[in-house]
Structure 1
Amino acid sequence: MIVMKQILLCVLLISTTATFTHAQDTTAASSTYENGKAFLRKGDLDNAIMLFTRASQQQPNNVNILKDLTYAYYMRKDYRNGLETGKKLIERPDADDDCYQLLGLCYKATAAYSDCEKLYKKGLARFPKSGILYSETGDLLAVQHKLNDAIKYWEKGIEIDPNNGNNYLNAAHYYDQQGNLLWAVLYGEIFINIESLTDRTASTKVMLADDYKQLFSSPALLNGYVKQGTPFTRAIAGTFATYSNLANDGVTPDALNKIRTKFTQDWTAQYAKQYPFRLFDHFQQLVQQNTFEAYNQWIFNSATNESAYNTWVSAHTDSNSEFVKLQRSRVFKIPAGQYYAH
């Protein structure tokens, strides 16, 4: 009995020691990884790569370490190692669509477009609802000047993953370039609500202001949508056209606010149940909260006429504060099933 107790004690000691050692190793690896991320954020890629490499040896099953290592290689333009690490990533059973995106970045950087296209097809077969991979495939085709093919992937990405902002951004700029201004402003405005505080937001607001000016400066543009658009598109264009006379003295932020307020009231009464659309529901919420003008100023003045915008904000501090509070407190989410072909 004494011998048995001694054996059990030895087993427990070994087990406890092993557990403690494993915990130490895990803690050390986590510390190394966090330090690597700190270097990556500062742009010190050499130190980031060194620490990510060490951490991946300490925790070979941590997929996030390999993802950051691949990204660091990409940022350092070390595409050979980026491709090598990225290929290992996508073969893992716990790989996600980000892994395919990271490897794709390295392929695109080396102009290995055929390999990249095969990669994305493989990724979409594995992750058929990945808005990221639809966006990246569209980008790949756009780089090769295949824009008419690219838009099909961006549209599909919007349909199957409606809260991925990249597809809206790419589609908005595509339609802007093609002269399809109504869908450029719809997708552009959805994008700036999904991603509201970046440089991409500022440039997209400039595009929105320019495209709205063109839409209401030429009645023929809206009438074209009324005559030839899909039912959803006709409903939007027809409602806007009803109030285009409010811009007769100029397509200003004030005029656009009046037009869009009238549009929101009519859309809510006539079409909201038939065509649920998160963007227009957002308009209605802002109208009800008396912050719609602040929202329109944020879109149409803040990026194009900072002085005028600051003057407006100074004169409407309460309304603007309420809008800013709402904007920062909510996440703009689009429900599934609100995609309309056009």
Structure 2
Amino acid sequence: MRQIVISILIITLSLNSFSQEKSDKVIAYEKAVKAIKLMDNGDIDKSIKMLRESQQLDPENYNYPYETAYAYYLKNDYKKAIQELEKVLTYKENSDQCYTLLGNIWDMEREPEKAIAIYNQGLEKFPNSGRLHFEKGNVLEVLKKYDEALNIWEEGILRNPPYPSNYHTASIYFCKYTTEKIWGILYGELFANIERGSKKTEEISKLLYETYQSAITIKSDTEVGVSFSKAAQFPISEKADNLQIPFSIPYEMTMALSVIPEANENELGIKSFSNIRTAFITEWYDKNRNTEYPNILFDWHKKLIDLEHFESYNYWLFMKGNEKEFEEWYNQNSEQFDKFIEWFSSNPMKINDENKFHRTQYE
């Protein structure tokens, strides 16, 4: 069953509402807070009763019927949940989460087309909702419309850069099911920076490690192979002005040069990937590739190198791909790693509308 994010009732009340004599809106709010606590403790029926009372006191507030619908969802009474949510969608003020819950219920009811219709309706009202893009993409994936699903997830990345889940699914798709692993490793690392410490982060850590291993081949002490992308061809026209080489070509060339110093290694692991990625960034910036192909992730790497945190960062990033190697390294470098984590905890990578990455920026 698809995970539903439990909503937290957020109601903005003006300070004037809190007079000596409580207004109906304040009483409704207080009842709803108690109702949600009851819901969380499993007393669903009593919770619904109190939410109905809140709705009568403040009928213009969509939160109360939404929470009522969620209560019915918890009871597996999807028919009543749908009825409540259909009312919620008629409110002038509601949220993308209302459309998400209704769409997800239709999906669980094995009505994927109805689910997609609801997500589309929600996206008309909330076009920048990362959550709605993510859920719509998931249903399209179940329908085996893989390219459409990927397009929706990437649109979600573009429209709502801080929302993590679209990076997660796009990364898996590119790394596992396409020849363009280059986008998978970039999206995956961005996801790891946005959503730290979750099971999905561990999954991406392992995926990134395995993708680097499969894409880099040591043929001899002097010959290496790099295959993060097969899109190495591009059309050339006599009329072409300001021709820009596709990002994947200088990326793979620079990566290949960065791999050569590791060619004498019997097996590539976290240490090798850290060395390769350090050499890559050094070469990339020495050749001013960063001006032609701006990339917030590479800027982040450069910053970490300058702060002498990049080695620790790489061991953090690839940790789940080779836990034994990480543990052995950490035992020898615990002070260095702990210092990095302390810095990392208070200095996250900034990803927002002004500072973002999307593969279409190179088109």
TM-score by length of 2: 0.79
Q: Which runs of 5+ in 2 are unaligned?
A: 1-17, 219-224, 236-244
Correspondence for 1:9:
none
The structure number with the bigger radius of gyration is 1
Aligned to 1:5: none
Q: For 1:231, what is the secondary structure of its paired residue?
A: coil
Instruction: Name the stretch that deviates more: 201-210 or 31-40.
Output: 31-40
Residue 310 (str. 1) matches residue 330 (str. 2): no
- The corresponding residue for 2:260 is 245
Bigger share in helix: 1
C-alpha deviation, 1:210, in angstroms: 0.7
Q: Partner of 1:63 in structure 2? A: 62
CA distance in 1, matches of 2:65, 2:343: 38
Greater displacement, 196-205 / 49-58: 49-58
Q: How does 1:246-325 map to 2 (within 5 A)?
A: 246-248=261-263, 249=265, 250-269=267-286, 270-301=288-319, 303-325=320-342
Q: For 1:140, what is the secondary structure of its paired residue? A: helix
Does the CA-based 8 Å contact 1:226-1:237 persist in structure 2?
Answer: no
Query: For 1:272, what is the secondary structure of its paired residue?
Result: helix
> Counterpart of 1:129?
128
- For residues 38 and 256 of structure 2, the distance between their equivalents in structure 1, rounded to whole angstroms, comes to 54
The 5 A counterparts of 1:69-218 are 69-179=68-178, 180-217=180-217
Q: 1:296 is aligned with what amino acid?
A: N
AA aligned opposite 2:311: E
Unaligned runs of 5+ in 1: 1-17
- CA deviations on 1:37-70 (whole Å, 9 max, x unpaired) are 3345556655554544443344333333443333
CA distance in 2: counterparts of 1:241 and 1:340, whole angstroms? 21
Amino acid at match of 2:256: A
Q: Secondary structure at the match of 1:316?
A: helix
Cα gap change, 1:225/1:316 in structure 2, threshold over 3 Å: closer, same or farther? farther
Find the counterpart in structure 1 of residue 358 from structure 2. Answer: 339
Letter of the structure 2 residue corresponding to residue 253 of structure 1 = I
Tell me the residue number matched to 1:327. Answer: 344
| CA RMSD, Structure 1 to Structure 2 (Å) | 2.7
User: Helix, strand or coil for the counterpart of 1:22?
Assistant: coil
Number of corresponding residues: 323
Distance 1:100 1:192 in 2: 27
CA contact (8 A) 2:65 2:88 kept: yes
Structure with the bigger RCO (C-alpha within 8 Å, sep 6+) is: 2
Q: Distance in 1 between matches of 2:158 and 2:60?
A: 34
Report how far residue 325 of structure 1 moved: 2.2
Q: CA 1:306/1:145 → structure 2, altered by over 3 Å: closer, same or farther?
A: same
Structure 1 residue 227 displacement after superposition: 4.5
Q: Which runs of 4+ in 1 moved over 6 A?
A: none
